[in-house]
Amino acid sequence: MANYNISIIKGDGIGPEIVDEAIKVLNVVGKKFDIGFSYNEFLMGGCAIDATGNPLPQETVDGVLASDACLFGAIGGAKWDSLPRELRPESGLLRFRKEMGVFANLRPAMVYDELVDASSLKPSVIQGVDIMVVRELIGGIYFGEPKGKDEFKGWNTMVYTVPEIERIAHVAFKLALKRGKKVCSIDKANVLDVSQLWRDTVIRIGAQYPDVELTHMYVDNAAMQLIANPRQFDVMLTGNIFGDILSDEASMLSGSIGLLPSASTGLKTAVYEPIHGSAPDIAGMGIANPIATISSASMMLRYSFGEDKAADAIDNAIKKAMKDGFRTKDLAAFGAIEVVNTSKMGDIIASNI
């Protein structure tokens, strides 16, 4: 029997509700495939500020690094927006990613056949979309030095080193080998020197993967192409700020941000989380969509634990729930036979397993 130690960060807003449903599904799939899970819960974000005065307590860093992987909900809310920037939940999240060394953010954007009408784009444009955005997560302009502001100006510096680009490029090419064998690298090499270094390095690494087709696209064109012809993309490789924007754009191809998971992997550990935020306006109402978090648990099984059959079981259980017409409130207008609350959706997916 395989046993895995999972660190849990539920966070703020709807975080506790959606993480609880993912744990429910993990427990069921664990029984089916003879997999044992132990859970240790830690604080980060606004709840950590309230409890300790620190958005990222050292206990959380140590606990997550000692685990096999981390399942994370969401953090933040207006309650903490008036704090100094370095004490806000989002600052804790940036420090968390850096401490974990999770340099590769994997964000799939796929369209369920049953929800093709949920997108604002025509079904003929998005039917069959299945994109993996590979975003470098702990470099680039969010972490570059120098940075600062005075009364008259603010400045941030986009910095990438060759080793940082090499390691994220390897992740993208290895993923492409298991998918459609295409990588499109997104940059702004016609304007930015750092992007030219990015492109040169990706080309050199790409030569090590002759079975993968490598193309390049400027970020502004990529933003347009995601809307005009998203099916052209398989793996999109990009830096931190470009990936931040493009992955959110890609996520809306599906029609709901509540559907899509993400993985942040690195040399020390991996963190799995939904791409959406903490949605404090609906916290405690039981209407949050837990599918993105449940899908994140599936990614954890697949990428951290190598439990592909268990991951497939979760993915198929979600598809069956969609096919059978069960919807949370955010998707009620799209083929709903029954609109269910957060907990009921978790129950349905668990029972499908």
Single out the catalytic residue among 160, 244, 272, 303: 244
Single out the catalytic residue among 220, 281, 308, 324: 220
Does 181 participate in catalysis according to the annotation? no
- The whole-angstrom separation of Cα 209 and Cα 100 is 28
Single out the residue of 115, 227, 245, 113 nearest to residue 186, CA to CA: 245
Does 200 participate in catalysis according to the annotation? no
Whether 42 contacts 64, CB under 8 Å: yes
Does 244 participate in catalysis according to the annotation? yes
Does 188 participate in catalysis according to the annotation? yes
Does 281 participate in catalysis according to the annotation? no
Single out the residue of 194, 174, 195, 175 nearest to residue 185, CA to CA: 195
What residues pair up with 264 in beta bridges, in sequence order? 105, 271
Q: Burial code of 272-295, b = ≥16 C-beta within 10 A, e = fewer?
A: bbbbbbbbbebbeeebbbbbbbbb
Whether 314 contacts 297, CB under 8 Å: yes
Single out the catalytic residue among 248, 312, 315, 347: 248
Sign of CA dihedral 181, 187, 189, 194: negative
Single out the catalytic residue among 20, 24, 130, 142: 142
Rg from Cα positions in the chain: 20
Active site residues: 142, 188, 220, 244, 248
